[in-house]
Amino acid sequence: PMAAVAEHGTGEGGAAERGAGGLGLEAALLRAQEDVRYPVGVVLPLGVLRAVDFLELPGHARQVEELSRSNHTHFRRVRADGDAFYRALCFAWLEVLSDRAARGRALVLPLRGGWPDAELFGELAVMYVELREQVMKLAGEPQL
């Protein structure tokens, strides 16, 4: 299994970081330059969190140890923008489906209650149907 970690800034928040007029203009411009097309990072060994990220944070290091004891071996960084939890959960779900399919253990139905109707997604219905089709392929199931 794999864990996901949201990346957060240092939280310094000083006047220099906030930029002109204390409005955070410089920080906003930097955020605007970020490449938001890649909301998750590459797979990294869980030991990176222990050795680098949480070296001086014993509470966090204990959580990493708990993940290790639960057989988690790797993680991905997830952009922390308010949707990080849902993005991490979605990517973890897709990776589990892919892993099961690769081992010949496809799920009968990826969602216990079945797939919601596309009409519920309004303008995003086409994108939802495409995602559903890709998930079905990933899970090794026949398409709807």
> What's the pLDDT tens digit per position in 22-70?
456 666 656 555 555 566 777 888 888 777 777 778 888 888 888 888 8
- State the pLDDT at residue 36: 57
Whether the per-residue pLDDT at 14 is higher than 70: the answer is no
- Is 93 part of a structural domain of the chain? no
- Residue 44 in contact with residue 5, Cβ under 8 Å? no
How many domains is the chain partitioned into structurally? 1
- Is 89 part of a structural domain of the chain? no
- Is 50 part of a structural domain of the chain? yes
Whether the per-residue pLDDT at 7 is higher than 60: the answer is no
Of 14, 78, 92, nearest to 41 (Cα)? Answer: 78
94-110 pLDDT tens trace: 887 777 777 777 666 66
- Is 116 part of a structural domain of the chain? no
- Is 51 part of a structural domain of the chain? yes
Q: What values do phi and psi take at 65, rounded to 5?
A: -60, -40
91 three-state secondary structure: helix
- Is 49 part of a structural domain of the chain? yes
Where in the sequence is the domain holding 22, given as residue range(s)?
Answer: 2-78
- Is 87 part of a structural domain of the chain? no
**Buried b / exposed e along 113-143 (16+ C-beta atoms within 10 A):** eeeeeeeeeeeeeeebeeebeebbebbbbee
- Is 65 part of a structural domain of the chain? yes
Residue 72 one-letter amino acid: H
- Residue 91 in contact with residue 76, Cβ under 8 Å? yes
pLDDT mean over 109-131: 83
Q: What values do phi and psi take at 124, rounded to 5?
A: -95, 10
